[in-house]
């Protein structure tokens, strides 16, 4: 409760949380409001917003844009969360091992991390999806693979500074095992920056997913905002609504997640906020 | 003597949710030319904020002067404009800080930094500025002023850095010098030299010095007048002799009473049983190098260190920073691996043991750490911090809890501490928790690495008494690492003096104090601040105690 109070002191974060709530609600109720397959050709193609019973219009094949956005929300959030979860887990393991043990292990793991970081992340993601065939799993894997190095570096830094703290040394003198020291003593102390970077990573994961879908590398059986924009891009001048509404959806969701992430950061690191 | 600074009714307000509304309240203080006024107090007494208020360096808007005047030659520094304040700082009033490494800019040479002071305040050709800077460094007795001009802060030692800071502060011959704990981060022999330097500089320039410190020994050595602060209030002011010889306020009396005197404690019979024997221990630190090799630096932190510890005895290892005393402690508890030598505990050599083989021996030898704020996991409850040791060695939850509550009682903490987090406790209380954790495994030997150096002097006395009490009760042997000879005199039966990784002298405390064999030990003893002031008059003199 005290945490929420701190969080709510940041007005932007509260707004972000509300937007995110709406998007989540939309994703959860998509099958209730739009029970039909969003890919189904529902009626007159190229109807404008409000025409022929389409709230946000229809695209060149007569698919309902509003239904696409609702079902796309599910895809975006799911992929964003899953990919982040995988990336954070991998990043924590790599970073913790490197930071705690130092020396050769650190050198090896960090050179490996750098290898991943030298390839531009979006191009790397395209490459991975193209190799693995587009599907939800391959997209999640691709996003996780390009995102974990940031977490690993962060966790490594925290571990490096914490492992020589006296309370960790006290655990050594008690004869505690490495696993217990890593999981029970050090990790809880570096979770707050990880939570913050994780919440911001959800946003970038959604962006990467949209980008992939826009390029036609999305899962062909699953509706996604990026796919909608890609499908409507050639008709931007004659049917603006096809691209615009999914675009706004992406914008708002990413913005909301960033605001929430910042709010969490402020609430977890109160001293940083006082400085501004 | 003319009055330079007149502080009247100064109130400094803290942010709304702080422990108390005013950091400093109703403070009155005068400073004249050619005198040193010491502001003494324990942590949180508001002494440093007073210094910052004079310099206009309070962290506004959270902490600000709420009311009162700070008159400098009749000009109120509280109301004066920022531009005027900037002109005064450095030229009329200057300041030296506790930690010269952070107060100096690490990417600029000493010469450039001193030059800046001249450039900002006066018009002077660059040749003359350089000559003046050189002269200053010469005045503060830096060994090679030419070289020091070109040196970066990290290339100088702590004492040299503080000398450079003093040179910079005195560059424009200010009327007031504010020194905020300038010798606290320094070794005792360096401290003595820097104090002497400040005194000399003050006498030649006729400067008024406001000296902030927590150490009554330093006060005794340097002060003309003393101002004692407690929780933001000035409780006593007077000349040095008045305050130190005849303190009026109970708090001043308590503070002065808490200063341990340099009298070794009475000798106790030494047990014949040796519990720990350290033989020819060697440890070298190598730094530098990397993935692709490269040349590193070598430091001999422990060089042929040999001593033994009898049952029930407290062995003090004393020395200055870098002498290797902490390294020895860490090697004994196997936080560091020594390269050669023996650490014999009950006839078993611990040094070559691997982690698994070491584990059964861990419980016999436990450690108390220096920093009570870093040595407890901030996210773990106190009960668990103490209980996790016994649980790891197979105690049931109930047994561990019962043991923990018993330990909390032994170290003088309430049973309610069990469910609290470390941040809810003060420094002294946290150190008690750290001691309880070390005792939880029922060790034979306690290694205490500077256990009181982060604590206020009144708390120090309590923790030292507690440690002594516990040693007695549990028949422990203790290795006590300290840089403070006063503390060593209080608790140690025998002393080992270390310098540059070598043990240069071992002997019973009284003997080492009365008749030091090594030149370095003599220097250390001579450098203890205020040594002539705090020996109790009825006690025999140090020399007489040799017997």
CB contact under 8 A, B375 and A170: yes
Percent helix, strand and coil across chain A, each rounded to 5?
Answer: 80, 0, 20
Write out pLDDT tens, residues B468-477: 999 988 889 9
Q: Does the pLDDT of residue A205 top 60, yes or no?
A: yes
* Closest chain B CA to residue A181: B377
B 362-401 residues with CB below 8 A of A? Answer: 362-363, 365-367, 369-371, 374-380, 388-389, 392-393
CB contact under 8 A, B374 and A166: yes
* Closest chain A CA to residue B289: A103
How far apart CA B9 and CA B50 sit, in angstroms, is: 12
User: Which residues are paired to B284 by β-bridges?
Assistant: B300
How far apart CA B296 and CA B287 sit, in angstroms, is: 5
Question: In chain A, which residues have their Cβ closer than 8 Å to the Cβ of B438?
Answer: 173
**ipTM of the complex model:** 0.77
Question: In chain B, which residues have their Cβ closer than 8 Å to the Cβ of A166?
Answer: 369-371, 374-375
* Closest chain B CA to residue A162: B374
Question: In chain B, which residues have their Cβ closer than 8 Å to the Cβ of A161?
Answer: none
- Residue among B62, B375, B379 minimizing CB distance to A189: B379
- Residue among B335, B375, B392 minimizing CB distance to A167: B375
- Average pLDDT for chain B: 87
Task: Identify the band that residue A130 occupies on the pLDDT scale cut at 50, 70 and 90.
Answer: very high
Count how many pairs of residues, chain A against chain B, have C-beta atoms within 8 Å: 56
- What distance in Å separates residue B492's CA from the closest CA in chain A? 23
Write out pLDDT tens, residues B155-180: 888 888 888 988 888 888 899 999 99
Question: In chain B, which residues have their Cβ closer than 8 Å to the Cβ of A172?
Answer: 335
Question: In chain A, which residues have their Cβ closer than 8 Å to the Cβ of B62?
Answer: 274
How far apart CA B117 and CA B498 sit, in angstroms, is: 40
* Closest chain A CA to residue B447: A173
What is the helix (H) or strand (E) element at residue B297, kind and residue range? strand B296-310
Write out pLDDT tens, residues B491-510: 999 999 999 889 999 999 99
How far apart CA A152 and CA A106 sit, in angstroms, is: 11
Sheet containing B314-318: give its strands across: B365-368, B445-449, B477-482, B314-318, B494-499, B502-508
Kindly give, in sequence order, each residue whose CB lies less than 8 Å from that of residue B230, ignoring residues fewer than 6 positions away. Answer: B41, B42, B45, B251
* Closest chain B CA to residue A274: B62
Q: Is B451 on the interface with A (CB under 8 A)?
A: no
Q: Does the pLDDT of residue B540 top 50, yes or no?
A: no
CB contact under 8 A, B367 and A185: no
CB contact under 8 A, B333 and A173: yes
Contact criterion met (CB below 8 Å) for A79 and A205: yes
Q: What percent of chain A has pLDDT over 70?
A: 97
- What distance in Å separates residue B26's CA from the closest CA in chain A? 28
Checking DSSP bridges between strand B36-40 and strand B225-230, what pairing results, if any?
Answer: parallel
Question: In chain B, which residues have their Cβ closer than 8 Å to the Cβ of A189?
Answer: 377-379
Task: Identify the band that residue A270 occupies on the pLDDT scale cut at 50, 70 and 90.
Answer: low
Question: In chain A, which residues have their Cβ closer than 8 Å to the Cβ of B380?
Answer: 185, 188
Predicted confidence at residue B546, as pLDDT, reads 36
Predicted confidence at residue A87, as pLDDT, reads 95
Q: Does the pLDDT of residue B544 top 50, yes or no?
A: no
* Closest chain B CA to residue A276: B61
Query: Rounded to the nearest 10 degrees, what angle do helices A136-163 and A191-214 cross at?
Result: 160
Task: Identify the band that residue A271 occupies on the pLDDT scale cut at 50, 70 and 90.
Answer: low
- Name the DSSP class of B406: H
Write out pLDDT tens, residues A149-181: 999 999 999 999 998 888 999 998 888 889 999
CB contact under 8 A, A167 and B374: yes
How far apart CA B495 and CA A23 sit, in angstroms, is: 71
Contact criterion met (CB below 8 Å) for A84 and A202: yes
Provide the Cα torsion B305, B307, B308, B312; round to 10°. -110
CB contact under 8 A, A174 and B371: no
Angle at CA A236, nearest 5°, toward A230 and A239? 110
Kindly give, in sequence order, each residue whose CB lies less than 8 Å from that of residue B192, ignoring residues fewer than 6 positions away. Answer: B221, B526, B527, B529
Write out pLDDT tens, residues B97-138: 888 778 888 899 999 999 988 888 888 888 899 998 998 898
Angle at CA A268, nearest 5°, toward A116 and A155? 25
Q: Does the pLDDT of residue A243 top 60, yes or no?
A: yes
Predicted confidence at residue B532, as pLDDT, reads 73
- Average pLDDT for chain A: 88
Q: What is the mean pLDDT of residues A101-113?
A: 92
Q: What is the mean pLDDT of residues B16-38?
A: 88
CB contact under 8 A, A165 and B374: yes
CB contact under 8 A, B379 and A167: no
What is the helix (H) or strand (E) element at residue A14, kind and residue range? helix A11-33
DSSP A183-243: IIIIGGGGHHHHHHHHHHHHHHHHHHHHHHHHTT-S-TTS--HHHHHHHHGGGTTT-HHHH
CB contact under 8 A, B375 and A189: no
CB contact under 8 A, A166 and B441: no
Task: Identify the band that residue A63 occupies on the pLDDT scale cut at 50, 70 and 90.
Answer: confident
Q: Does the pLDDT of residue B538 top 60, yes or no?
A: no
Query: Considering only B46-50, B510-514, B534-538, which range has the smallest mean pLDDT?
Result: B534-538
Contact criterion met (CB below 8 Å) for B198 and B187: no
How far apart CA B351 and CA B332 sit, in angstroms, is: 8
- Residue among B335, B380, B441 minimizing CB distance to A172: B335
Q: Does the pLDDT of residue B227 top 70, yes or no?
A: yes
Write out pLDDT tens, residues B357-404: 888 888 899 999 988 888 999 888 999 999 999 998 888 999 999 999
Q: Phi first, then psi: give them for residue B478, nearest 5 degrees.
A: -130, 135
Predicted confidence at residue B294, as pLDDT, reads 56
How far apart CA B89 and CA B455 sit, in angstroms, is: 32
Give the residue, A274 or B238, on which the prediction is more confident: B238
Q: What is the mean pLDDT of residues B225-234?
A: 92
Kindly give, in sequence order, each residue whose CB lies less than 8 Å from that of residue B125, ignoring residues fewer than 6 positions away. Answer: none
Contact criterion met (CB below 8 Å) for A173 and B367: yes
Question: In chain B, which residues have their Cβ closer than 8 Å to the Cβ of A167?
Answer: 374-377
Q: Which of B59, B377, B392 to mutate to test the interface with A (most CBs of A within 10 A)?
A: B377
- Residue among B371, B375, B379 minimizing CB distance to A188: B379
* Length, in residues, of chain A: 276
Predicted confidence at residue B289, as pLDDT, reads 54
- C-alpha neighbours within 13 Å on the C-beta side of residue B223: 31
Question: In chain A, which residues have their Cβ closer than 8 Å to the Cβ of B379?
Answer: 188-189
CB contact under 8 A, B358 and A175: yes
Q: Does the pLDDT of residue B209 top 60, yes or no?
A: yes
Predicted confidence at residue B443, as pLDDT, reads 92
CB contact under 8 A, B362 and A175: yes
Cα separation values, B115 from A41, A51, B112, Å: 79, 77, 5
CB contact under 8 A, A176 and B388: yes
CB contact under 8 A, A173 and B366: yes
- What distance in Å separates residue B445's CA from the closest CA in chain A? 12
Kindly give, in sequence order, each residue whose CB lies less than 8 Å from that of residue B352, ignoring residues fewer than 6 positions away. Answer: none
Reference B344, options B308, B312, B310, B368; nearest CA is B308
Predicted confidence at residue B295, as pLDDT, reads 59
Q: Which of A107, A162, A166 to mutate to test the interface with B (most CBs of B within 10 A)?
A: A166
Write out pLDDT tens, residues B291-345: 555 556 677 888 899 999 999 999 999 988 878 888 899 999 998 888 899 999 8
């Amino acid at each position: 409760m005290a945490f929420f109070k701190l969080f709510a002191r940041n007005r932007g974060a509260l707004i972000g949380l509300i937007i995110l709530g709406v998007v989540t609600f939309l994703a959860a109720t998509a099958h209730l409001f739009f029970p039909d397959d969003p890919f189904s050709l529902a009626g007159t193609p190229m109807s404008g917003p409000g025409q022929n019973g389409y709230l946000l219009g229809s695209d060149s094949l007569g698919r309902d844009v509003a239904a696409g956005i609702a079902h796309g929300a599910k895809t975006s959030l799911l992929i964003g969360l899953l990919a982040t979860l995988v990336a954070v887990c991998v990043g924590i393991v790599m970073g913790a091992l490197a930071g705690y043990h130092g020396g050769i292990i650190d050198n090896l793991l960090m050179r490996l991390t750098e290898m991943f970081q030298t390839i531009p992340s979006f191009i790397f993601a395209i490459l991975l999806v193209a190799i693995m065939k587009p599907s939800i799993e391959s997209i999640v894997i691709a996003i996780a693979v390009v995102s974990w190095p940031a977490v690993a570096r962060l966790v490594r830094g925290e571990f490096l500074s914490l492992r020589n703290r006296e309370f960790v040394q006290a655990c050594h003198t008690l004869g505690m095992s490495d696993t217990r020291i890593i999981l029970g003593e050090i990790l809880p102390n570096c979770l707050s920056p990880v939570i913050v970077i994780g919440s911001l990573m959800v946003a970038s994961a959604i962006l990467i997913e949209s980008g992939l879908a826009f390029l036609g590398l999305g899962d062909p059986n699953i509706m996604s905002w990026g796919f909608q924009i890609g499908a409507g891009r050639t008709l931007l001048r004659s049917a603006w609504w096809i691209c615009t509404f999914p675009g706004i959806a992406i914008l708002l969701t990413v913005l909301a997640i960033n605001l929430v992430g910042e709010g969490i950061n402020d609430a977890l690191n109160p001293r940083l906020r006082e400085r501004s | 003597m003319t009055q330079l600074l007149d502080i009247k009714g100064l109130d400094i307000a803290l942010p709304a949710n702080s422990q108390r509304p005013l950091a400093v309240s109703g403070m009155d203080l005068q400073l004249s030319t050619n005198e040193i006024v010491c502001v003494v107090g324990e942590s949180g007494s508001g002494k440093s904020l007073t210094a910052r208020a004079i310099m206009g360096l309070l962290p506004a808007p959270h902490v600000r002067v709420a009311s009162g005047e700070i008159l400098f030659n009749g000009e109120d520094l509280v109301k004066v404009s920022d531009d005027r304040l900037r002109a005064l700082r450095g030229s009329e009033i200057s300041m030296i800080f506790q930690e010269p490494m952070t107060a100096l800019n690490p990417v600029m040479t000493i010469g450039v930094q001193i030059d800046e002071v001249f450039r900002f305040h006066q018009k002077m050709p660059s040749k003359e500025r350089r000559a003046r800077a050189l002269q200053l460094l010469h005045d503060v007795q830096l060994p090679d002023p030419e070289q020091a001009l070109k040196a970066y802060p990290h290339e100088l030692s702590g004492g040299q850095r503080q000398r450079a800071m003093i040179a910079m502060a005195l560059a424009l011959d200010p009327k007031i010098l504010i020194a905020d704990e300038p010798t606290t981060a320094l070794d005792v022999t360096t401290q003595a030299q820097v104090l002497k330097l400040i005194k000399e500089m003050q006498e030649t320039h006729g400067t008024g010095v406001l000296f902030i410190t927590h150490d009554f020994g330093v006060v005794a050595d340097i002060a003309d007048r003393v101002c004692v602060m407690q929780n933001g209030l000035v409780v006593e002011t007077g000349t040095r002799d008045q305050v130190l010889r005849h303190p009026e306020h109970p708090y001043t009396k308590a503070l002065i009473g808490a200063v341990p005197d340099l009298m070794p404690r009475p000798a106790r019979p030494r047990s014949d049983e040796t519990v720990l024997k350290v033989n020819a221990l060697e440890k070298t630190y190598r730094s530098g190098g990397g993935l692709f090799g490269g040349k590193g630096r070598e430091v001999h932190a422990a060089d042929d260190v040999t001593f033994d510890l009898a049952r029930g005895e407290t062995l003090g290892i004393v020395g200055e920073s870098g002498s290797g005393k902490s390294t020895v402690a860490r090697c004994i508890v196997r936080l560091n691996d020594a390269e050669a030598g023996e650490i014999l505990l009950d006839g078993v050599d611990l040094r070559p043991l691997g982690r698994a083989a070491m584990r059964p021996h861990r419980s016999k030898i436990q450690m108390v750490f220096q920093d009570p704020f870093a040595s407890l996991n901030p996210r773990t409850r106190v009960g668990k911090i103490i209980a996790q040791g016994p649980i790891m060695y197979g105690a049931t939850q109930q047994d561990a809890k019962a043991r923990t509550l018993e330990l909390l009682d032994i170290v003088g903490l309430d049973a309610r501490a069990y469910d609290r987090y470390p941040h809810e406790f003060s420094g002294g209380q946290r150190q008690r928790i750290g001691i309880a954790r070390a005792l939880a495994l029922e060790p034979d030997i306690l290694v205490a690495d500077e256990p009181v150096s982060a604590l206020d002097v009144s708390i120090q006395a309590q923790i030292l008494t507690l440690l002594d009490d516990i040693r007695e009760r549990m028949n422990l042997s203790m290795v006590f690492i300290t840089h403070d000879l006063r503390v060593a005199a209080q608790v140690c039966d025998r002393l080992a003096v270390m310098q540059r990784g070598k043990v240069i002298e071992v002997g019973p405390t009284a003997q080492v104090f009365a008749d030091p064999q090594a030149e370095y030990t003599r220097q250390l003893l001579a450098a203890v601040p205020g040594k002539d002031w705090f020996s109790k008059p009825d006690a025999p003199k140090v020399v007489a105690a040799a017997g």
